[in-house]
Amino acid sequence: MRDTFLPFSTPSLGDEEINEVVDSLRSGWITTGPKVKRFEDDFKAYVGAPFAVPLSSATAGLHLTLLALKIKEGDEIITTPMTFASTVSMIILAGGTPVLADIEPGTLNIDVTKVAEKITPRTRAVIPVHFAGQSCDLDPLFSLARQHNLTIIEDAAHAAGTEYKGRKIGSLDSISIFSFHPNKNITTGEGGMVCTLDETLAEEISLLKFHGMSREAWKRFAASGTPNYDIMLPGYKYNMMDIQAAIGLHQLPRLDGFIDRRKEIAELYNTAFADLAELALPAYAPYQQRHAWHLYTPLVRTELLTIDRDRFMAELKNLNIGSGLHYKAIHHHSWYRENLPVADTELPNASYASDRILSLPLFPGMSDNDANDVIAAVTDVITRFRR
C-alpha cells in the first residue's frame, strides 16, 4: 500500500502561473483588468468562439445566461440528473422549472430520445452536460432545438478542449459555459466563461455581470477613461479578477498536454480493469469526438459485491487512494426529493449510476506509479469483497 495519500484531483500549477499572480499583486491592479481581457481573447481563440464573457464561476454563467434569455415562471428547461447541483439550481433561481431527462447507460450523457419525450409547449431550453469531458450527441439535439424553437445551453464545465465531430465545444451555434474550478481541466482558482455566437446575448450577460454598469471599472480608472458611469439595470457582481486570469493565461497553453496525459491514465485504467466484471467502465460515444477526460467514472456493480459504493470508497481511502462522487443524481438530493420528486423508475439509468458511480484519481500530475497504485487498490478491494 502507498505511504502517501493520493487525492482524486489536484491542479497542475507551475512557476509561470505563480509569477503571473505575483506580477498582478505587485502591479497594484488585482481585480478585473487587462489580464482578464487577454484571457478572454486567448480562450475565444482556443475554442473558436466569436464572443466570450469571463465570470467568477460557471454557476454565475448559468445564472446570467438564463436571466439574459428572460426565463419566466412556468418555462421548462430540460437537463440531466447526472450533473453538479448548480446546473439545476440555477434554473430554479432564474425562475424556471427543471425537467430531468434520463441518461445513456454507457457514456452517462443525456439521452436525446428522452429529451424529445420531455418536450412540451412550455419547454424553452435544454442544458446538456458533456459528462466527464465527452461530448453529448449535439446534432440530434440541435435538430430538436430547431424543430421546437429551443435554446441549447451547453454545460461545458467538463469540456474545455472537448470536440464534437471535429469542432471544439464553445464554437457551435449555442451557448457554452466553461468552469475553471481547481478540479476542472484548467483552473483560475474559481472562474467561468460563457461562449456564444450571439453578440447581443454576450452584451446582456456582460451588463448583468457587473452591477449593470455601462463601463467596467478598469476602463474608468485607466488614464484614457472617465470616472463617470451609468447603471443600465440592477446587476450582479460576477466578474473575474486579474489575479484569477493570471493563472488561466498560463493554464490554457498547457490544456492540450493535460488532456493527452489524462487520456493516457484513463487508458491505463481501461486496460487494467477490462476483465473485472465488478466494474462497469465508462463507454466511448459511437460518433467522432475528442474526449477531454475530465473524470474517470466507473460504476461499482454493487450487486456483485458485499459492500456498497460508499464503503468501497472508504476501503480505497484506507489504502491511501482518494476518490470523488460525480454525481449523486439530482433527484436523490434532499431539496429535490421534497420539492420536485421524481421516481427512480422515471430515471432508471441515472438512478442506477447514482448509487454506483465513483471518480478515481485522474489529473495530469499523476505518474504511472500513482495509476498503478490505484489499479492495485481497486483490484484488492474487489477481490476482498466480491460475492
By annotation, the residues acting in catalysis are 184
Q: Nearer to ligand PLP by C-beta: 93 or 268?
A: 93
For the CB of residue 111, give the shortest distance to ligand PLP in the complex, in Å.
17
> Vertex 307, ends 131 and 386: CA angle to 5°?
95
Amino acid identity at 174: S
Q: How many residues does the chain have?
A: 387
Give the integer Cα–Cα distance in Å for 375 and 269: 7
d(CA 302, CA 27): 55
Amino acid letter, residue 383:
T
- Cell, residue 54: 469571463
Smallest distance, ligand PLP to C-beta of residue 183, A: 7
**For residues 103 and 129, which CB has a smaller minimum distance to ligand PLP in the complex?**
129
Residue number with CB closer to ligand PLP (169 or 377)? 169
Whether the CB-CB separation of 132 and 110 falls below 8 Å is answered with no
CB of 191 to ligand PLP, least distance (A): 7
Point out which residues bind ligand PLP (CB under 6 A): 57-59, 83-84, 86-87, 129, 155, 157-158, 179, 181, 192
Q: How far is the CB of 62 from ligand PLP (least distance, A)?
A: 7
Of 180 and 210, nearer to ligand PLP (C-beta) is: 180
What residues contact residue 72 under an 8 Å CB cut-off, 6+ apart?
95, 96
Cell for 172?
457551435
- Residue 10, all three cell numbers: 489536484
Pick the closer one to ligand PLP by CB: 83 or 289.
Answer: 83
Please spell the DSSP secondary structure of 36-97, one letter per residue: HHHHHHHHHHHHT-SEEEEES-HHHHHHHHHHHTT--TT-EEEE-SSS-HHHHHHHHHTT-E
- Those residues whose C-beta lies under 8 Å from the C-beta of residue 147, and which sit 6 or more positions away, are none
Q: How far is the CB of 90 from ligand PLP (least distance, A)?
A: 9
